[in-house]
Amino acid sequence: MVALLPGLSAKVHLKVSEKDTAIAFRSGEVPVLATPRLIALCEEATSLAVAGNIKEGCTTVGMRVRFDHLAPTRVGVEVTAEATLERVEGSRLTFTVLARDPNGVIGVGKVTRVVVEVERFLKKAH
């Protein structure tokens, strides 16, 4: 690893489209932002938060997600997800994630990622 220090953060944005809905993700029957899509947006922010701070040949992979999706967001509305690196324990990185739309907080949680050597990791894939 290079310099992974608590406090690293990043924000990402998404304008919710039909392809982001619970219907499109087959995770529900309503045309609002799907929980799996919101979690993916938060994971994108975690990856971006440490981009450029990981040794060449390494990356981070998701290990655990604990997330509360608190409010629905309609198609056409912009969502912002922010991730902040909270804790570094060896190769394990714990992030706090927060998602908002113009009406306020829509999701909160923790995401744990692990720094891995890409080639070694891929050799383990089944």
How far apart (Å, rounded) are the C-alpha atoms in residues 71 and 92? Answer: 30
User: Which regions of the chain are under pLDDT 70?
Assistant: 1-2
Domain ranges of the chain: 9-124
Do 46 and 54 form a contact (C-beta atoms < 8 A)? no
For position 126, what pLDDT does the model report? Answer: 87
How many other CB atoms are found less than 10 A from the CB of residue 33?
28
Of 78, 82, 90, residue with least CA distance to 116: 90
For position 3, what pLDDT does the model report? Answer: 73
pLDDT digits (tens, 9 = 90+) for 6-41: 999 999 999 999 999 999 999 999 999 999 999 999
For position 2, what pLDDT does the model report? Answer: 59
Helix (H) or strand (E) holding 61: strand 58-69
Topology adopted by domain 9-124: Thiol Ester Dehydrase; Chain A (3.10.129)
pTM listed for this prediction: 0.94
The SS3 call for residue 17 is coil
For position 29, what pLDDT does the model report? Answer: 97
